[in-house]
Structure 1
Amino acid sequence: MASTKEKPSSSPNIKSSYSRRSIYTSVFLLFASIACALLFQDTAPWLVGPIARLLPFHQSSPIMSSSSGSSVVREVLPTNVKPTHYDLELTPDLDKLVFSGKVVVQLQVKESTSSIVLNADDLEIQAAHIVQDVAKTEQTLASNNITHNATTQTVTIGFVQELPARSTVALHIQFTGKLNDLMAGFYRSSYTDSEGNKRNMAVTQFEPTDARRAFPCWDEPSLKAKFDVTLNVPADLTALSNMQVISEKPLGESEGRLKQVKFATTPIMSTYLLAFVVGDLEYLETFTRKTEGKSTPVRCRVYTVKGLKDQGKFGLEVAARTLEVLADTFDIAYPLPKLDLVAIPDFEAGAMENWGLVTYRTSALLLDDKQSVARAKEYVAYVVAHENSHQWFGNLCTMEWWSDLWLNEGFATWVGNYVVDKIFPEWNTWTNFVTEETQRGLSLDALRSSHPIEVDVGRASEISQIFDAISYSKGASVIRMLSSYLGEDVFLSGIRAYLKKHMYGNASTRDLWQALSDASGQDVSKFMELWTRHVGYPVLSVTEEQGEGSDGSRRLRIRQTRFLSTGDVKPEEDKINWWVPLSIITSQSPQKASSDILTEKEQVFTLPSDVSFYKLNYQQTGVYRVQYPPSAIKSLTEAIARGDGTLGSIDRLGVIADTASLAPAGFTSTTNFLVLLRSYENEKDFVIWSEINLRLRSLLSAWSEQPQAIREKLNAFVRQLLQKQYERLGWNYAESEESSVIRLRTLVLSRLGMCGHPEVVAEAQRRFKAYFEAQDEKALFPDARSAVFAISVKNGGAKELDYVTKYYEETTVSDQKMLALSSMGWITDESLIPRVLDYIISDKVRNQDIHVVLMTLGANPATRHQAWEFIKANWTMFEERYKASMLYFGAIAKAVSSEFVTAKMADKVDEFFKTKDISRIDRAVNQTLEKIRLVSAWVSRDKDEVAQWLDQHVQ
């Protein structure tokens, strides 16, 4: 699933969505802080930069799982019966917002039993009985007792007599439920049609454990079964499920009001991948070309509410092309006859990979050729590729348990980027990957409150918390490191073998390592388990020594220690010796890396004597930081400043990312980072400026409560740093320009405007007025709107807020809607803050989008504290609204509080959360508190030195 890493302007990113439920969560999401922060990292750069205890229950069948050296009790269903086939019939009522259903489950009885335990949540079960063959005669055995357990989300169905072992029986259940507004289970999504009428859709979101909200089932990934689905729906609506329709007919005596839609039997699959959608929809259609092993083309459709289907053209094209590339890459044909992509108005994640029926946020699938921002096309392509990758990784071959979630999400993140790079090589996808995935994963994993890639989870309430940048971004980065080391051909050979061996089944990380070991002839698990079963990653500290040989060769002593953003790693936290591909490049061979591997705590490596610079981690394929000695940084800075391309773009990006990350931890001073930045003044690569912009945003936020004179000089430094880019790029956009140029211009205007560049602010205000008051459409190119809206709201008042609000309510283009919403948080007039806060919890803003404004309000020093008081005052409301969406609820909790920068505020935030039940969002809360305290320590340590440097170097 694409975490709300949904790569737009704020984020819970793909599957994203950043989270998952959420991307771009995340990731993806998330992931993701959610969708919007990733999509608008350049158009709204200010937005980016953001367990329950295990209790045994009598109905669960606990098993022990060992990972990362610890054991955890998994709360799983008893193993006395196993489902093999579901025959499910549902009748949703879109007016009364309820549904009724009946399900017949074919069960293999493994052990004699007089009770059956399965999952059910928020369902009313009216009746249940067993049909079994006894002496070749079909007999019915009615239930004599039905007991619900809300804590374990199970129902126990008892019978007077035992079901014999090694028999096959059919369990019949009748039930009812509500089409909730929680974006989980079988829920309702509402919208206003072209005639101004409010309409409802019935849609599903089952991952990770919400199929049980739609029908009683065995809701665990390893309990795969086949499904026959029947939907009884209004005759004028469209009904969709995982498979194609095999029959459609009027229903009984409904006088043409209802129809019965039956779908073909699914392949064997997990419950979380089942899906259905009912609504007044329209679609576009295309077909794949013939692929290896597939004699007939796959039918692909994009479904939308009426009036929006044309915005699905690009997503549809990418869907077909990615299926073709994936089938060739994996040497396995897409196994279903069709693939539907559906844009859902209310959707927590970025997207969800339901087999054959992928559901999306509108902003993750739809775009307008004339009005969408340049980033939108890349975002849609990535999310579609990510979800289609899941059709193999996750759907065809599924993790055994949620502890191996990364097998789904880490691989879909890597494969999604791999496929986009194959289809759109001009987009420099892997450079973007380093800043959008690798850096995100490293940032989270530098906290003590992080977790291993393979993480123990025992109960359903814990699962949502691991749909984060570790499972998605770090997981994908570790895969990229391994692929680079083994070589792409060998790596993909192992992946094909892994998929073919475990197709239609379940697998673990150990199974993956075995397949890659067989393909490579190396014991992959020996070095990769260090990365997946342990939290954290190393920083490599480099010391130069003069060689002893007559050739004068240079010796590098390299030591690895665990990297923490707090810079205070303890001996007991630093026991792992990671397997680290050094991939050293030099001025003599800047495009050819060494094959050196660091396996001990400290080793010595040799360089030629006549190199002017060297750099570790060529193309940033390794998952680690590097601390260079001053002489090496000086040489790298000179190479970068020359601007001759000797050092590639990803490596120039890596120098910035490492130095910026080492400063808060105390490995280097913040002033060294500021000096380094000056060598990038002539840089023209958008992705590098994107990374610089993220780092500047973090610095400005950290110093946001320092004396005004210091803050003004920091803003002046940023203005000076970007001035050459502003003079080069100006304000004039052209549709014929490359996306990277358009995005860089927007980034420069955004950052300069938010740092008070007088000329940029004045021009933004002039264009804002021309666009809204003179109705001059040409005054604002689509990509310029986020910068101009935010700058104008920040420097304006009620009138500017009114215009932006009206724009948000009227535009039908998803990315434009989000950039308008995010800009509302940049108000500085204190009297208007309550208005914005009340607005975001009104029916004008969807529950899925509240974080977009909250993240801006948190990033805005003028509104941060008032927004936090608002969250505290409305905590009960948020808790109820997002009770089924713990990933999103965690993002809400972090959106404002994580932006505080003093130890005093950390204590206040901690004090508030101590009075709340945070068992299902404790990771998010702990990460927030850790972040605030490390930022506070960073500023306390470096503020005086930074102040002195600014006095000396900035006018």
Structure 2
Amino acid sequence: MEMTRNNAWWYHLPTNVWPTHYKWSIKPNWESFNTFEGELWCRIKVNEPCNEILFHSVKLDIKHVELKTETNKLIKPEKILYDEEKEIVKLFFGTQRDIVPSGTAMLMVKYHGMINEHELKGLYVNRWDQEHRDSKDWWWLITKLDRFQARMVLPCWDEPHFKASFTFDIEIPKDWNCVFTSEKDHEELFGNGKKIHFKETPFMSISSLGFVAGKFDKIDERVVDSTKFRVWAPKWHQNSRVEFIHQMFEMATKIFDFYTKTWGKDFKYPIEKLDLMVVPNYAIEGTSSFGFVAVRDHWSIDNNFTTSWENWKKQKFFIHLAGHIIKQWFGHVVTVKDWQQIWFEKAMSHFLGYYAVDKIWPEWGVWEQRFNWDEFTQAVRFDGLPSTVPMEWTHETWKKWVGKVNVEQFENFKSGDYGYLEKFFRFSKGTTIIRMVRDYIGEHSFMKSLKNYLVKYHFKCPTADDLWVEMEVDSKKPLKHVIATWSKMNAFPIVHVNGNVDASGNFVITLKQESVLNHLKKWKTDQYYHEDEYKFWHIPMTFLTNPKDSNSKVEIFMDKETYSWTIPAAEYRANGGYFKLDWTKPVFTTFFYHEDYIRKFFIPAIQHHEMKNPVDRFYLIWNTFMMTKFGLHSSTTFFDVIKTVAMAGEDNWSVWGAIYETLWELRLIFIEDDHYKNCDEFTTKLNKFVKFLLKDKRSLWSGNEHWWFQRPTFDTKHRNEEMLWGLLTHMLVVFKDDEIEHKAVDIFWQWYQKEYNSDKVESSKAIFAAAAQTNDMKVFNAFIKIYKEDKFEHAREYVIHGFGFFNNSLVVNKILEFAFEKDVQSEDRLRIFQSVAHRFPSCRDQTWKSIQEKFDFFFTHYDPWRFGVNFFQQFITETFADQKNAQLVGKFVQEKLSHGKHWKNEMFEQSIEYVRIKSEWFKRDGNEMKQYLKQF
């Protein structure tokens, strides 16, 4: 089947007609908030005479259209033609070719539109309180106009390069407020309503436009570099939760101030205000429009920053918030030219979020604590699957790739389904690659070039290549071609590292790169695609030829299959052939060292505390894990590496996080396996192995009340200790350490019986998990009471987490029933189902049965993309080790969603591939793992 340009993703409007200003007005239906009436006066520039005008429109019922020319002549179209596939409307004015003269004209359109409730697309009503979902006092109207979605709200030229200015007015109830891209100009009162008029915006892409309307108030306001910076929240936040919003806003102000100073006078924030909207029960973590940023209240109110889990969430929240704020410059003032490069805009803003947080709060150590965990590991996890795709492609490369998959599923791609493509673009991968670029050319050159790019292209639509050229000029490095190999080739390389002594006694190090997909040949390698001009990745690396000497760095640029360099004989004799990659400058690559090398050099270096940087230990664990999973290393080597790290007194929580994550994947394999019937024996031995790894620390913690109730400080050392304590306590509970588990249960009841007014328990997640593992109905009842009363700000978070640790069918049924009670917020319902399904096959099966029975409810009450794909991808990926059962789930969901061909997509297949890799690993190494774990 031929992939054509006749769909929304690839079709581009002609440029003979160009919008210059939109005057947009809407009136929502106040009774139901499911429809609205819209009017549009669009000033257009007709570059050459024509007889038709095309613009984008999706699900809008156009009632009336007329065109007024420069000479005030009114022209009405003879026909209004809808093209649903291209998502355009064609106004046909007649057969006379020049009936619409060149020059300026005014296009007037009256139309009727729909307000979404279950899909966060276009114009969306957020009924954020289940108990009051029929009262408009508890509703908000929110727009989401990015990438193909503005056309769902107004007739427009919905491509980034069609920049224009906007004025806007809206009719809303009298006691509502509205925040728009620009500042309010004036308002008119009438009856029980009001009409708010907003000032004209700068020239901008329509995808950056947006508004939020509802019953909310201004909580705080600051002035940052002459810009008004304000925070808004629902009225009920003014009671118990306003202090948390003030805390969050204080820190958000530092972020905004950092960016204004970073870009300086050369590139000032271009409009007079920036609003921060705290949105109740928002279906996503946050979003950014020009002039305001919206964040989910879950993130803003849960940041009192007093336990390790809260510190963890705080870091995540502010990285995301910083990324949304930087989009005011990098995304709205400067907008990517084409959506095929959306990975670039998303990844750059996310990277700059890390950058800002690290500069403002360096004591958080986000590059070490968050980046490696959240970005690198997620990227390699999903990019190392047979069905992965490039981050960027043209129409021609897309045709080549989908021609090897199932073109039919993409042929009916519609505007609202861009999330499918976003998943494939791998923003974590893009963020990792941009960090690699920063390290390759240096921070000074990177930030200087970025600033020049923003100044040069403000209110324009450049391409990613325009930035790479700026960086090439400043750094004198061939960056454009380097990036192309990473953005236009799928998957990532494995670099094989070898060393040999030559006849002269010199030590020759040889690197050889290959695609990770070469080790997945049994699974769809016919889909491995790259353009002919990009055979190999261009990889900038730094090696230490003597890891004991930080000055022994060798900068390497590998742009072909193999690369070699020589260490002189004298230097080789001095260090005995020990060399390694400098992981403080990470690259999106995995490295294969022979197992003999790992045992000869890496393991002794850890034992003797010579591998001092925790980043090195983190990446060694993940590299060994990935190589083991793909069959290049034995499982014994993997176990020995993590055992050595633990036994050497490891005290870095991100390293322990790598140990926990990798062992957790093994546990999921053990609890459900096709190849061995004695899986209980495997999990028991794995639990004993974990207890062995932690034997030096658990004796300290089990009897020490101080650790259970410690409140973290803002000191770097103590924060790491307490975050480590929270992680490892949870790890001991998950892997069934009886003593720690019993202690945690006691702590839970002590805390609960004081009605949770005592100091916060440091390891709250662990004590809730431990209490749930008793399968006691009293614990379940306590959880329900805590959730409903919500006296403790993190109560719901911990209760939902704890639900996943019950392993009793009666209790699990009660949990699933509770999920549908009116007290449960809609987003929490999905999280409850995910939690219950996450750990035990029997609980997963109960959850799956309930989902099947209530599938129609879920599908009609939630964004189909988020429920239909994201939920089930996680459900399949994280809970199955059995490929057959995973395929049954995928088949059920695909059949249910078959009304859209794109739902039959690679996301489910990717999940099943991941399950298959895990299953094959156990089939290959099961006996070896069994033998190894016997010693514990």
Q: Shared fold (TM-score greater than 0.5)? A: yes
Comparing 675-684 and 613-622, the one that deviates more: 613-622
Query: In structure 2, which of residues 307, 313, 337 is the aligned counterpart of residue 400 of structure 1?
Result: 337
Q: Distance in 1 between matches of 2:188 and 2:538?
A: 61
After TM superposition, list the pairs within 5 Å mapping 1:84-163 onto structure 2: 84-97=20-33, 98-134=35-71, 138-159=72-93, 163=99
Please tell me whether residue 500 in structure 1 is matched to residue 455 in structure 2: yes
After TM superposition, list the pairs within 5 Å mapping 1:536-575 onto structure 2: 536-549=491-504, 552-564=505-517, 567-568=520-521
SS of the residue 1:449 aligns to: coil
Aligned to 1:593: 553
Aligned to 1:787: 766
Please tell me whether residue 764 in structure 1 is matched to residue 741 in structure 2: no
CA shift for structure 1 position 382? 1.0
After TM superposition, list the pairs within 5 Å mapping 1:683-832 onto structure 2: 683-706=650-673, 707=678, 708-730=680-702, 731-737=707-713, 738-778=718-758, 780-781=760-761, 783-811=762-790, 816-832=795-811
Amino acid at match of 1:404: Q
Q: Distance in 2 between matches of 1:815 and 1:213?
A: 37
Q: Distance in 1 between matches of 2:918 and 2:301?
A: 38
Aligned to 1:528: 483
SS of the residue 1:468 aligns to: helix
Q: Distance in 2 between matches of 1:598 and 1:796?
A: 56
CA offsets per residue over residues 824-868 of structure 1, 9 Å max, x none?
233211133344334445554444444423332332123123333
**Gap change, CA 1:460 and 1:101, over 3 Å in 2:** closer
Amino acid at match of 2:638: F
Aligned to 1:169: 105
CA shift for structure 1 position 804? 2.0
SS of the residue 1:587 aligns to: coil
CA shift for structure 1 position 237? 1.8
Amino acid at match of 2:515: R
**Gap change, CA 1:776 and 1:227, over 3 Å in 2:** closer
CA shift for structure 1 position 684? 0.8
Aligned to 1:443: 381
Amino acid at match of 1:931: Y
**Gap change, CA 1:222 and 1:880, over 3 Å in 2:** farther
CA shift for structure 1 position 427? 0.8
Q: Distance in 2 between matches of 1:717 and 1:735?
A: 30
CA offsets per residue over residues 149-196 of structure 1, 9 Å max, x none?
555444344445765242222121222334331232222112459999
Aligned to 1:940: 923
Q: Do the aligned partners of 2:224 and 2:256 also contact (CA within 8 Å) in 1? A: no
After TM superposition, list the pairs within 5 Å mapping 1:270-285 onto structure 2: 270-285=205-220
Relative contact order, higher structure (CA 8 A, sep 6+): 1
**Gap change, CA 1:371 and 1:199, over 3 Å in 2:** farther
CA shift for structure 1 position 469? 7.5
Q: Distance in 1 between matches of 2:818 and 2:157?
A: 41
**Gap change, CA 1:443 and 1:620, over 3 Å in 2:** farther
Please tell me whether residue 950 in structure 1 is matched to residue 933 in structure 2: yes
Please tell me whether residue 605 in structure 1 is matched to residue 565 in structure 2: yes
Q: Distance in 2 between matches of 1:531 and 1:813?
A: 46
Aligned to 1:854: 833
Query: In structure 2, which of residues 95, 101, 122 is the aligned counterpart of residue 185 of structure 1?
Result: 122
SS of the residue 2:555 aligns to: coil
Amino acid at match of 2:738: P
**Gap change, CA 1:791 and 1:93, over 3 Å in 2:** farther
Amino acid at match of 2:361: F
Q: Distance in 2 between matches of 1:124 and 1:814?
A: 45
CA shift for structure 1 position 529? 1.0
Please tell me whether residue 241 in structure 1 is matched to residue 221 in structure 2: no
CA shift for structure 1 position 301? 2.8
Q: Distance in 2 between matches of 1:812 and 1:447?
A: 44
CA shift for structure 1 position 434? 1.5
Q: Do the aligned partners of 1:142 and 1:159 also contact (CA within 8 Å) in 2? A: yes
Q: Distance in 2 between matches of 1:701 and 1:163?
A: 68
Aligned to 2:198: 263
Query: In structure 2, which of residues 253, 270, 276 is the aligned counterpart of residue 320 of structure 1?
Result: 253
Q: Distance in 2 between matches of 1:510 and 1:789?
A: 50
Q: Do the aligned partners of 1:383 and 1:416 also contact (CA within 8 Å) in 2? A: yes
Aligned to 2:402: none
**Gap change, CA 1:501 and 1:370, over 3 Å in 2:** closer
CA shift for structure 1 position 144? 4.5
CA offsets per residue over residues 341-389 of structure 1, 9 Å max, x none?
1111232322111011111112333334277722232122212211111
CA shift for structure 1 position 648? 0.8
Comparing 487-496 and 911-920, the one that deviates more: 911-920
SS of the residue 2:26 aligns to: strand
Comparing 936-945 and 467-476, the one that deviates more: 467-476
Q: Distance in 2 between matches of 1:469 and 1:151?
A: 22
SS of the residue 2:301 aligns to: coil
Comparing 521-530 and 162-171, the one that deviates more: 162-171
SS of the residue 1:679 aligns to: helix
Q: Do the aligned partners of 1:726 and 1:745 also contact (CA within 8 Å) in 2? A: no
Aligned to 2:911: 928
Aligned to 1:352: 287
**Gap change, CA 1:942 and 1:563, over 3 Å in 2:** same
CA offsets per residue over residues 296-348 of structure 1, 9 Å max, x none?
24434343443243322233223322223223333422112111111112323
Amino acid at match of 1:820: V
Q: Distance in 1 between matches of 2:650 and 2:110?
A: 65
Amino acid at match of 1:511: D
SS of the residue 2:709 aligns to: coil
Q: Do the aligned partners of 2:279 and 2:297 also contact (CA within 8 Å) in 1? A: yes
Q: Do the aligned partners of 1:544 and 1:554 also contact (CA within 8 Å) in 2? A: yes
Amino acid at match of 2:931: Q
Aligned to 1:4: none
Please tell me whether residue 200 in structure 1 is matched to residue 139 in structure 2: yes
Aligned to 2:408: none
**Gap change, CA 1:832 and 1:112, over 3 Å in 2:** farther
Q: Distance in 2 between matches of 1:787 and 1:230?
A: 51
CA offsets per residue over residues 643-698 of structure 1, 9 Å max, x none?
36x43111111111111111110010122111111122211111111222111111
Amino acid at match of 2:910: Q
Q: Do the aligned partners of 1:102 and 1:172 also contact (CA within 8 Å) in 2? A: yes
Q: Do the aligned partners of 1:662 and 1:668 also contact (CA within 8 Å) in 2? A: yes
Q: Distance in 2 between matches of 1:606 and 1:871?
A: 60
CA offsets per residue over residues 543-574 of structure 1, 9 Å max, x none?
2212433xx44322221111149544869769
Q: Do the aligned partners of 1:562 and 1:573 also contact (CA within 8 Å) in 2? A: no
Aligned to 2:623: 658
Amino acid at match of 1:492: M
TM-score of the superposed pair, with normalisation by structure 1: 0.86
Q: Distance in 1 between matches of 2:743 and 2:59?
A: 55
Amino acid at match of 1:482: V
**Gap change, CA 1:152 and 1:839, over 3 Å in 2:** farther
Larger helix proportion, structure 1 or 2? 2
Q: Distance in 1 between matches of 2:872 and 2:85?
A: 23
**Gap change, CA 1:333 and 1:814, over 3 Å in 2:** farther
Q: Which runs of no fewer than 5 residues in structure 2 stay unpaired?
A: 399-412
Aligned to 2:608: 642
Query: In structure 2, which of residues 865, 870, 880 is the aligned counterpart of residue 886 of structure 1?
Result: 865
**How many residues align structurally?**
872
Aligned to 1:222: 161
Comparing 189-198 and 737-746, the one that deviates more: 189-198
CA shift for structure 1 position 467? 2.6
**Gap change, CA 1:422 and 1:802, over 3 Å in 2:** same
Q: Distance in 1 between matches of 2:299 and 2:142?
A: 17
CA offsets per residue over residues 468-491 of structure 1, 9 Å max, x none?
384421111111111111111112
